[in-house]
């Protein structure tokens, strides 16, 4: 599982930062990508990667501001000619996303050669997508903006060969048969397979925010605590918390302070304003805690 930030900018694109798009690479797990938000430069950014459009089968839209959706119609159209024919695609987003796409396609005369399905999201819902649990939480922004929390399935423990040898079962093809069964029999005795398995490995947990003011309620904290990676916006970086709140955004230092108590392994900040120059950003980066990053375009992180 790998996260790649294809567009890390806020609002207006710049030469250095395109607007929001994030890839959750699940090729090793399910041979597919999840795409979170579709900034207008997405297609250009993909040309600099090995990501195949036809393997983006699920798109999650945090909210309907232009810097998060203006690349969607173009991507959907191009996918039709990039191996996507007959490859279904699902879009999960706020109310209005389906209407906007229908009007856009109607006026532009766009026709897709693959089925696509739009699923409108709401606060508190839980999706099941390719075996992954996706929890949806409404955030605090001038328009409805959402958090997606992706939970990988837990991985069953490995078969304990030493325990099997203790009851007289030698290594061989039978081990695979035992692993696939709930119970098995040997020398007239029935055993529960679970007694011969190591501990379960918890699945990875990834929380990706749309634009939002800082959230502090207990339900929100419960939802993101113990995450392996949290991606959060940081439109304001210079202790401008009042201005951040006024415009419906977050200030990086306040977010870091909140996250200290939530047992989050890695924090990645994105949605960075282009009013901050390179010197300012480098100064901020040098002061970040361990496993805390300010993303640039094409920032990539392997989730271990």
**Residues 136 and 145 sit within 8 Å (Cβ to Cβ):** no
pLDDT by position in tens, the chain (length 304)? 999 999 999 988 999 999 999 999 999 999 999 999 999 999 999 999 999 999 999 999 999 999 999 999 999 999 988 888 999 999 999 999 999 999 999 999 999 999 999 999 999 999 999 999 999 999 999 999 999 999 999 988 889 999 999 999 999 999 999 988 999 999 999 999 999 998 888 999 999 999 999 999 999 999 999 999 999 999 999 989 999 999 999 999 999 999 999 999 999 999 999 999 899 999 999 999 999 999 999 999 999 8
Tell me the two tokens of residue 299. 């920032």
Residues annotated as part of the active site? 67
Nearest to 193 by CA among 214, 176, 171, 213: 176
Residue 211 labeled ligand binder: yes
Q: Would you list the DSSP string of the chain? A: -EEEEEE-B-SS--SS----EEEEE-HHHHS-EEEEEE-TTHHHHHTTS---GGGEEEEE----SHHHHTTHHHHHHHHTTTT-TT--EEEEE-TTHHHHHHHHHHHHT---SS-EEEEE--TT-EEEETTEEEEEEE--SSS--EEEEEEPPPBPPPB-HHHHHHTT--SSTHHHHHHT-SEEEETTEEEEGGGGB-PPBPPPEEEEE-S------HHHHHHHTT-SEEEEE-SB-SS-HHHHHHTT--BHHHHHHHHTTTT-SEEEEE-B-TTS-HHHHHHHHHTPPTTEEE--TTEEEE--
Tell me the two tokens of residue 73. 């119609």
Residue 249 labeled ligand binder: no
How far apart (Å, rounded) are the C-alpha atoms in residues 91 and 248? 25
2-155+201-302 carries CATH number 3.60.15.10? yes
Residue 63 labeled ligand binder: yes
Tell me the two tokens of residue 64. 């309907």
Residue 160 labeled ligand binder: no
- The domain locations on the chain are 2-155+201-302, 161-196
Strand partners, 231: 208, 268
């Amino acid at each position: 599982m790998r996260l790649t930030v294809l567009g890390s900018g806020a609002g207006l694109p710049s030469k250095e930062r395109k607007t929001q798009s994030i890839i959750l690479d699940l090729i090793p797990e399910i041979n597919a990508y999840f795409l979170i938000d579709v900034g207008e430069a997405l297609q250009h950014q993909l040309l600099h990667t090995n990501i195949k459009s036809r393997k983006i089968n699920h798109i999650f839209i945090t909210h309907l501001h232009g810097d998060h959706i203006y690349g969607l119609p173009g991507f959907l159209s191009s996918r039709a000619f990039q191996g996507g024919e007959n490859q279904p695609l699902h879009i999960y987003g706020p109310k209005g996303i389906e209407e906007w796409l229908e009007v856009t396609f109607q006026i532009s005369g766009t026709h897709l050669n693959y089925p696509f399905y739009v699923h409108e999201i709401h606060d508190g819902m839980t999706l099941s997508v390719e075996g992954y649990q996706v929890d949806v939480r409404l955030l605090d922004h001038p328009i409805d903006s959402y958090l997606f929390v992706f939970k990988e399935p837990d991985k069953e423990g490995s078969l304990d060969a030493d325990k099997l040898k203790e009851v007289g079962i030698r290594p061989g093809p039978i081990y695979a048969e035992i692993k696939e069964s709930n119970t098995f029999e040997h020398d007239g005795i029935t055993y529960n397979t679970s007694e011969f398995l190591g501990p379960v490995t918890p699945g990875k947990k990834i929380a990706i925010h749309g634009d939002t003011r800082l959230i502090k309620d207990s339900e929100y904290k419960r939802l993101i605590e113990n995450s392996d990676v949290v991606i959060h916006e940081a439109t304001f970086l210079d202790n401008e918390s009042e201005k951040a709140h006024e415009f419906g955004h977050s200030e990086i230092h306040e977010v870091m302070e909140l996250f200290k108590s939530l047992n989050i392994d890695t924090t990645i900040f994105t949605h960075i304003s282009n009013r901050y120059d390179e010197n300012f950003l480098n100064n901020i980066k040098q002061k970040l805690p361990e496993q805390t990053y300010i993303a640039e375009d094409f920032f990539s992180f392997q989730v271990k």
